[in-house]
């Protein structure tokens, strides 16, 4: 285990401008990590223990009512559509009748990864009520996802040490 702890940080991603809700969490690693932003978010979301992954999917589908693709569908991460996929940034998007959601995973440097969540309410009153219940759970789970991803690597990336932008 790396011992690295995720922390809530200021929201700096321009995709969060004008959002009704936004937060960001960042983890700093003791050594460089060569995973791309997409590999990080996949390791954070898709490599969760099965019971926790089930809870996340159930809340996304049935509480937030996100229209998610089938799990494992091409061009998606945990059912969220991959809108941008570059080595140092991946943007995931989904929506529901309540809100539009964006997740941004960014590799600012080989020892630092962040995840930003931005929500835009379509039905402000109802979305605020739902987020009042779901938000605290999200703020507990989001940093844990980063911390788990720091130690649980996909087999394809386990041996990498260079980071985005590194020569290799």
CA 158, CA 62: separation in Å to the nearest integer?
A: 34
Strand order in the sheet with 112-121: 6-9, 21-28, 112-121, 99-109, 89-95, 80-86, 76-77
Q: For residue 161, is pLDDT > 80?
A: no
**How long a stretch of residues is the chain?**
168
pLDDT-derived band at 2 (thresholds 50, 70, 90) equals low
Of 33-37, 77-81, 152-156, 158-162, which gets the smallest average pLDDT? 158-162
Res 153: pLDDT: 64
Res 160: pLDDT: 42
Report residue 158: phi and psi, to 5°.
-60, -30
């Amino acid at each position: 285990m790396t011992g690295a702890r995720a922390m809530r940080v200021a929201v700096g991603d321009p995709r969060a401008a004008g959002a009704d809700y936004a937060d960001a969490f960042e983890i700093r690693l003791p050594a460089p990590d060569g995973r791309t932003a997409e590999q990080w978010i996949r390791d954070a979301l898709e490599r969760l223990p099965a019971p926790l992954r089930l809870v996340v999917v159930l809340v996304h589908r049935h509480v937030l009512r996100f229209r998610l693709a089938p799990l494992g569908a091409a061009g998606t991460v945990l059912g969220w559509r991959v809108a941008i996929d570059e080595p140092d940034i991946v943007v995931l998007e989904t929506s529901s009748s309540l809100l539009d959601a964006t997740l941004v995973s960014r590799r600012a440097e080989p020892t630092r990864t962040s995840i930003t969540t931005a929500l835009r309410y379509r039905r402000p009153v109802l979305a605020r009520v739902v987020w009042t219940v779901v938000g605290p759970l999200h703020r507990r789970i989001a940093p844990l996802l980063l911390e788990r991803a720091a130690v649980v690597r996909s087999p394809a990336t386990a041996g990498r040490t260079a980071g985005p932008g590194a020569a290799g």
